[in-house]
Amino acid sequence: MNNVLPAVAIVLAGGVGERLGLQMPKQLVKIAGRPVIEHTLAAFEKSPVIDSVLVLMTPDHVGEVEAIVARGGFTKVTGVIAGGRTRSETTRRAIEAMGGAECKMIVHDAVRPLVSQRIIADCVSALDRYEAIDVATPSADTIIAVDEVDGEEIITDIPPRSRLRRGQTPQGFLLSTLRKAYELAAADPDFTATDDCGVVRRYLPDLPIYVIPGDENNLKITHPIDIHLADKLFQLNSNPPAVETSGEVRARLLGGRTVVVFGGSYGIGKATGDLAAAAGATVLSFSRSTTGTHVENPEDVAEALRRAHARTGRIDYVVNTAGVLRIGKLADAPDTVIEEALRVNYLAPVYIARAAADYLAETRGSLLLYTSSSYTRGRAGYSLYSSTKAATVNLTQALADEWSERGIRVNCINPERTGTPMRRQAFGEEPAASMLTAEEVAGTSVDVMISDWTGHIVDVRRAAPSATPSAA
């Protein structure tokens, strides 16, 4: 009955980050290269069921969020207004700002940046049948109730875990329903509340509140550890979905664009360049063997980029797949091998990033680097390779933050074992079924390169074997 009503996302961003020990609101802390609130706004901007977004921000930082909205091109955001001293006061201000026209209000904590499209869609859909909804997940822990006796906490009850849920956001309401609940609350001198469903439950007790299944990833940034957990979750969630970007989308985003590939003479670099060229991009490849370009030489890197820009007048994407892998114990490695590993595997990405920055800022383009699964834990036999690849990961994340205001995106691909000439030279022939192909890694590389992601370390893994053939 309510499916014709507009759906408005109300993003509550009034927290100040006291429990994080920060000097800024927690919604402005950067995770995966972007402020937390920017991730949250991106989720609602992307949702096809959300018509508009209203942000209520800590009063002293409204301007900063307005700048984020402008920079991010969030067209659904209709306003950024000052929130109140408490959550309930902030919600009151949102209700006042909505005016009198009925709508579906999807109220969400700005510091839950990993809210899924499924949850958003379920909330909007459920308001066709209910006037109030909540999002919750089952409790994996036993919950106990305690009282204080002589200064000590004593268990007074252990509620059945099967009936307990952990509340999340969004919470959804018809505007008229939430307004009525808050009008009744305003007349109560003993009013206290921690969330909007609590207000509806207390003052409209006969109104059913429907519960939508939440998601364990939909965590709230509250404590310092949450920042690290959220960053890791963004990395895990960065992997492209089973259905890859269509050829039509690739052609739209790559047609007329210029892609510069360092290390593009063979392996992943060549496959990535070929795929981008097939989608309509002008691909300029530079390598030691084909153009005499030594990526560890900053003059060579700068000259390659000058040539590319002179040819097409723009550089939209820069990809660096160049690398060396030497196997052996560090104690036995000659100085020349150590220097080569450091210069090619780490200094080269630094030189490429520095030289490409101004070109990519002009086109609001992206830089794509590569790491190795060994970056998470150094391995005996190739300590130099592992450590330089770990440095590349840190470089990616730092540059994504450093360059965010210039509109440059920086990401890093982390492929599993891949059948490339460099790997065969180091390890010899290996079973092909145990490795990715260069073309598989290239597909993910192109999709990440043209995406709006930044600061992500994207794993590329072999598909798990299926018991039955998949449908064509």
Both tokens of 135, joined, read 């999002």
Q: Where residue 425 falls among pLDDT bands split at 50, 70, 90? A: low
**CA dihedral for 356, 361, 362, 363, sign (positive or negative):** positive
Q: Where residue 432 falls among pLDDT bands split at 50, 70, 90? A: low
Would the pLDDT of 102 be above 80? yes
The rounded distance, in Å, linking the Cα atoms of 388 and 350 is: 11
Q: What percent helix, strand, coil does the chain show, rounded to 5?
A: 45, 20, 35
Give the model's pLDDT for residue 1.
45
**Model pTM score:** 0.67
Please state, as a whole number, how many other Cβ atoms lie within 10 Å of the Cβ of residue 405: 10
Residues 6+ apart with CB under 8 A from 225: none
- Helix axes of 175-186 and 87-98: crossing angle, nearest 10 degrees: 130
The rounded distance, in Å, linking the Cα atoms of 269 and 109 is: 41
Q: Would you say 119 and 135 are in contact if contact means Cβ atoms under 8 Å apart?
A: yes
Q: Report which of 58, 80, 60 is spatially closest to residue 70, judged by C-alpha positions.
A: 80
Q: What is the mean pLDDT of the chain?
A: 88
- 70-94 pLDDT, tens digit per residue, is 988 999 999 999 999 888 999 999 9
Mean pLDDT of 341-367: 96
Rg (CA), the chain: 26
Please state, as a whole number, how many other Cβ atoms lie within 10 Å of the Cβ of residue 63: 10
Give the model's pLDDT for residue 418.
63
Estimate to the nearest angstrom the gap between the alpha carbon of 168 and the chain centroid.
Answer: 19
Q: Would you say 453 and 283 are in contact if contact means Cβ atoms under 8 Å apart?
A: no
Q: Return the H-helix or E-strand segment holding 210.
A: strand 210-213
Please state, as a whole number, how many other Cβ atoms lie within 10 Å of the Cβ of residue 450: 25
Q: Comparing 368 with 150, which gets the higher pLDDT?
A: 368
Instruction: Give the CA dihedral 285, 321, 32, 386, nearest 10 degrees.
Output: -160
Q: For residue 213, what are the β-bridge partners?
A: 136
Q: Would you say 284 and 303 are in contact if contact means Cβ atoms under 8 Å apart?
A: no
Please state, as a whole number, how many other Cβ atoms lie within 10 Å of the Cβ of residue 302: 15
